[in-house]
Amino acid sequence: MQLAASAVLKKDSLEIYPGGKERATAMARAAIALGANLGERLETLTRAVRSLHRPGDGLAVTAISSWYETEPVGPVQPLYINGCLTLQTELAPVSLLGELQQREAAAGRTREVHWGARTLDLDLLWYDDWVQADTVLTLPHPRLEERPFVLVPLAQIAPDWRHPLTDKRVADLGAEVSARGVERVVERAVVATALGPVDLRPLAPADHPPLRDLAVRCWWATYRGLLEEEYIESFVGHTYSLEAIGRAAARPDGHFWVAEAPGGALVGFTQVLAVGRVAHLVRLYVAPEVQALGIGSALWRLVHSKLAAIGVGVCTLTVLATNVGAVRFYERQGFERTGSTPGNRFEYRIRIGGDG
Ligand SMILES: Nc1ncnc2c1ncn2[C@@H]1O[C@H](COP(=O)(O)OP(=O)(O)OP(=O)(O)O)[C@@H](O)[C@H]1O
Ligand SMILES: Nc1nc2c(c(=O)[nH]1)N=C(CO)CN2
């Protein structure tokens, strides 16, 4: 894509930002590509992500991709780790670029070889639909459309963003490049938990597709080796189809919550059914890559407090006896084993309040 050498600003951008390049008057949405191929790559990138999340200072990460290990494009050099994030920002484009360059410098970035190895690279990919091309800043980033190491992570977090000049969606641009040499090495959820605590909230309709993906990952991670693969396949297909999730979410006796990491990735979910004074915990799962961080206990504490608030006396559950991790988890929360069922499941109950 060829851009004119002089600055070109879209008319509606000028209206949104009457101060021109100097100051943005509204919250803008921007996307950043991150890359590193020297030093402790993941550590440097995680530090950069954290430093870009300053909700009090007009800079907040709104979504973050997985980390990918990618083959270098350009001169021979070590493999990169790449990823992308989106931001909400009050900063004007040039100020935001300045913030990025400061962080590159703080990570020891030097510029000796064109496209050469670097400890940290932070590129501004877009800033709303701002269009500009001069020596300081080009927006959208002029090589955005040809870089699999940008488009693959970007498609995870902003598939519907449209390039203001070509009107092409990120998802379609991503489909046009080969993803060879771009390998996911750290899941989104892990990247996101580096930013801060997870948010526990009721399941919303927009969560249904990511919930389905999370449930599939949780099921395979939990039950591979414990249950027949065909059974897992068919159970997950039935129980976590979008229709089934919709039905579960709509149950009048049900309460469905999710755990969301900063940046938007779902990392856990739970559902409980409650009728009168008796409740049944139907499911409680945490993404395999973020287990043992207290997210499961936090979900259970939420369920417990909600059940107590609606006057439930006792909560039951069943768990596969060979699912040792889950058995230990429920016993740690105070569940007592009351028996077992055919199909090798243990039965548990816990008193919530009152005389149960
Ligand atoms: N959208 C943009 N994001 C980051 N830098 C930009 C952008 N547009 C123009 N620049 C300018 O590009 C200059 C060179 O940037 P940098 O050294 O990071 O390039 P590079 O990462 O080696 O190559 P590439 O730009 O192809 O990713 C910066 O000093 C900056 O002023
Ligand atoms: N895989 C990969 N290759 C690159 C990268 C990068 O981030 N990842 N950045 C470059 C210059 O910006 C040049 N080549």
pLDDT at 170: 95
Which residue has the least CA distance to atom 9 on ligand 2?
115
* Per-residue tens of pLDDT for the chain, all 356 residues: 333 332 333 323 322 232 333 334 468 999 999 999 999 999 899 899 989 988 778 888 888 899 999 999 988 999 999 999 999 899 999 999 999 999 999 998 777 777 778 899 999 999 999 999 999 999 999 999 999 999 999 999 899 999 999 999 999 999 998 888 999 998 777 777 777 788 999 999 999 999 999 999 999 999 999 999 999 999 999 999 999 999 999 999 999 999 998 777 899 999 999 999 999 999 999 988 777 778 999 999 999 999 999 999 999 999 999 999 999 999 999 999 999 998 899 999 999 986 54
Q: Which residues are part of the catalytic machinery? A: 109, 118, 121, 123
Q: What is the pLDDT of residues 141-174, one digit of tens each?
A: 999 999 999 999 999 989 999 999 999 999 999 9
The response to whether residue 351 sits with its C-beta less than 6 Å from ligand 1 reads: no
The response to whether residue 179 sits with its C-beta less than 6 Å from ligand 2 reads no
CATH classification code of 199-351: 3.40.630.30
The position carrying tokens 């060979």 is: 322
- By DSSP bridging, strand 345-351 and strand 314-320 are antiparallel
Whether ligand 2 lies within 6 angstroms of the CB of 72 is answered as yes
- The answer to whether the beta carbons of residues 80 and 152 sit under 8 Å apart is no
Q: Which candidate, 54, 211, 86, 59, places its Cα nearest to that of 157?
A: 86
Query: The domain at 11-186 falls in which architecture?
Result: 2-Layer Sandwich (3.30)
Residue nearest atom 24 of ligand 1, based on CA coordinates: 115
Q: What is the ipTM for the molecules in this complex?
A: 0.96
Q: Where in the chain is the domain with CATH 3.40.630.30?
A: 199-351
Q: Which atom of ligand 1 is nearest to the CA of 140?
A: 1
Where, residue-wise, is CATH 3.30.70.560 in the chain? 11-186
Specify which residues 204 forms β-bridges with. none
- pLDDT single digits (tens) 310-338: 999 999 999 999 999 999 999 999 999 99
Per residue in 233-267, pLDDT (tens digit) is 999 999 999 999 999 999 999 999 999 987 778 99
In short, whether 138's Cβ falls inside 6 Å of ligand 1 is: yes
